């Protein structure tokens, strides 16, 4: 596996991403993924929000945007998967190059812009999945949608996907869709939450709803978000998305690239946000994500208050062995 990871370093990032995941699918179909699967869990099955998990480690949204790799990723031993971000209409995302790997910092900068094949394509993949674990769906808005149309985009995705998702995450925190983070504003967020609640009642949706937030919000903003979520029918928070602050990036050229920073430089910032959220709410479910590159990082997220933990950049850089390192005894 290390041999292939070293080869992927020399390939364009998005091509390497596609090749690696398609290779996983190929191995899955040949029933060879058991070679990489964990041998023993140090977690016992547990329930959260009515969902049963075999362990607390999952994939973050963005790894499998269209649900093409659900069965293969599930076979690797993840306790849950989150697919997306998906939008109502297919869109190509921002212009290339738009993904920049920084192995020196164990980091990735991306400005993908919700590139995906649309909600109908993802829905077909969810319907045919064989993986029996928890699968959440991360929903967003098309780049061309503004104001009320943007909120309607979330509702379209919500209604189409609700029967086939074990939980739904509302993504208001990508830095790569213009003005999307304006939904962190109190009045905008109240409007979005109210609209989602009305849609939930209309379609009789009873499963969990999470809100994915930015690590770049102030403490006062986070407190406001907590209050709005606690006073709504939403379930909890996914903390956090990528950061636009790249001061910790050692490569000066990459430091000046636009986009969101993920990986090891995000670990402390995202963990601090999780800790702050937990200090302000004892019971709210939190899915922690951002910078997990080791078993120690995973447990740090849990210790400060995350109920579940997701990985993305760590998985890209270190491969399936990271799953083994985190979950096994």
> For residue 101, what are the CA distances in angstroms to 13, 110, 168, 208, 297?
7, 9, 29, 33, 20
Active site residue 198: no
- Evaluate whether 189 touches 231 at the Cβ level (below 8 Å): no
Residue 96 Cα to chain centre, angstroms = 22
263: left (phi over 0), alpha (psi -120 to 50) or beta: left
Give me the catalytic one of 20, 145, 173, 174.
174
Tell me the C-alpha distance between 218 and 103, whole Å: 29
The per-residue DSSP string of 61-103 comes to TTSSTTSTTHHHHHHTT-SEEEEEEE-SS-B--SPSP-EEEET
The strand pairing partners of 170, in sequence order, are 139, 211
- Evaluate whether 125 touches 66 at the Cβ level (below 8 Å): yes
Picking from 122, 128, 129, 110, the residue whose alpha carbon sits closest to that of residue 86 is 122
How is residue 170 written in tokens? 């509302």
> Which residue is associated with the tokens 């919500």?
158
How is residue 301 written in tokens? 């997220």
Element (H, E) at 277: helix 267-280
Catalytic residues: 174
């Amino acid at each position: 596996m290390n041999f292939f990871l070293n080869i992927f370093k020399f390939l364009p990032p998005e091509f390497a991403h596609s090749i690696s995941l398609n290779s996983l699918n190929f191995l899955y179909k040949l029933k060879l993924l058991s070679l990489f699967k964990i041998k023993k869990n140090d977690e016992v099955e547990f329930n959260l929000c009515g969902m049963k998990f075999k362990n607390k480690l999952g994939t973050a949204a963005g790894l499998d945007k269209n649900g093409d790799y659900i069965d293969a990723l599930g076979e690797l031993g993840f306790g849950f998967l989150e697919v997306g971000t998906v939008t109502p209409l297919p869109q190509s995302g921002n212009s290339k190059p738009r993904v920049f790997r920084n192995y020196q910092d164990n980091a990735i900068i991306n400005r993908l812009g919700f590139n995906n094949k649309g909600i109908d394509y993802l829905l077909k993949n969810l319907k045919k999945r064989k993986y029996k674990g928890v699968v959440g769906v991360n929903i967003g808005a098309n780049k061309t949608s503004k104001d009320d149309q943007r909120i309607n985009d979330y509702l379209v995705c919500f209604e189409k996907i609700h029967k086939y998702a074990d939980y739904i995450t509302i993504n208001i925190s990508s830095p790569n869709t213009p003005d999307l983070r304006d939904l962190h504003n109190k009045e905008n967020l109240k409007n979005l939450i109210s609209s989602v609640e009305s849609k939930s009642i209309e379609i009789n949706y009873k499963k969990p709803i999470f809100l994915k937030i930015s690590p770049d919000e102030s403490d006062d903003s986070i407190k406001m978000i907590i209050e709005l979520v606690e006073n709504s029918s939403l379930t909890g928070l996914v903390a956090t998305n990528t950061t636009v602050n790249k001061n910790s990036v050692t490569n000066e050229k990459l430091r000046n690239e636009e986009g969101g920073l993920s990986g090891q430089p995000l670990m402390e910032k995202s963990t601090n946000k999780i800790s702050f959220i937990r200090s302000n709410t004892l019971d709210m479910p939190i899915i922690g994500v951002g910078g997990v590159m080791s078993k120690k990082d995973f447990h740090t997220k849990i210790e400060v208050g995350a109920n579940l933990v997701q990985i993305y950049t760590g998985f890209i850089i270190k491969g399936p062995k990271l799953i083994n390192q985190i979950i096994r005894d």
